[in-house]
Amino acid sequence: MERVKVLDKEFVLSISEENILKAVEEVATRINTELEGKNPLMLCVLNGSFMFASDLMKRITIPCEISFVKLSSYQGTGSTGKVKELIGLNEDITGRTIVLLEDIVDTGLTISNTVDQVKSMGPAEVRVATMLFKPDACKKDITLHYVGMNIPNDFIVGYGLDYDGYGRNLRNIYTLAE
Ligand code: IMP
């Protein structure tokens, strides 16, 4: 079994690039069918989603735009607890169909927060496309319209996901070794 070391930790291969790309293809096919004529604006939530966004966009065949946003490291306190502010969105999204591109939904707090902030800007519709979803970790009742793969509640790296900033460049996905 292929192993990699990222900083001080050992990881083992869990999802090959080939299987990742099959899942991306399936998400793209659904978006191409369901959002035809809607001219969607894809919003890639940095940093982790860059690889998923790139592979997905290569497979989108309908007219669409992409923009890149980030959640600030600043944490204010809102009614739901700690809220990270969405930054980098300069477009007017009024009346637009938005597709948020996420690398992974774990507890669901980040995406639920992001969806709320985007909805407050007046789009027609907000959909979520995530490459990975950890159903056993999710604490929020959220709608994930497009999910590449469901995965167990283990820590992973690769395909854009990091361990302490490293490992994002790995083509496959690796799980923390026991
Ligand atoms: P959530 O708010 O708990 O859903 O977490 C979402 C964010 O946590 C993702 O956008 C990732 O940046 C990070 N994250 C969650 N699980 C993992 C993992 O297994 N490896 C690396 N980063 C992760």
What confidence tens digit (pLDDT) does each residue in 56-89 have? Answer: 999 999 999 999 999 987 655 444 556 789 999 9
98 is a domain residue: yes
173 is a domain residue: no
3 is a domain residue: no
35 is a domain residue: yes
The pTM assigned to this predicted structure is 0.95
Number of structural domains found in the chain: 1
Domain of residue 105 covers: 18-149
pLDDT digits (tens, 9 = 90+) for 82-141: 678 999 999 999 999 999 999 999 999 999 999 999 999 999 999 999 999 999 999 999
37 is a domain residue: yes
pLDDT at 147 exceeding the cut of 80 = yes
C-alpha pair distances (Å), 54 with each of 24, 49, 78, 116, 121: 10, 8, 33, 25, 25
CA distance 19 to 44: 21
Contact predicate 13/176, CB 8 Å: no
C-alpha pair distances (Å), 59 with each of 26, 27, 29, 55, 145: 10, 9, 8, 7, 17
128 is a domain residue: yes
Which position has the token pair 């995406």?
111
pLDDT score, position 54: 98
Closest CA to 148 of 127, 131, 128: 131
Closest residue to atom 19 of ligand 1, CA basis: 155
Pocket test for ligand 1, best of 11, 72, 106, 161 (most atoms within 8 A of CB): 106
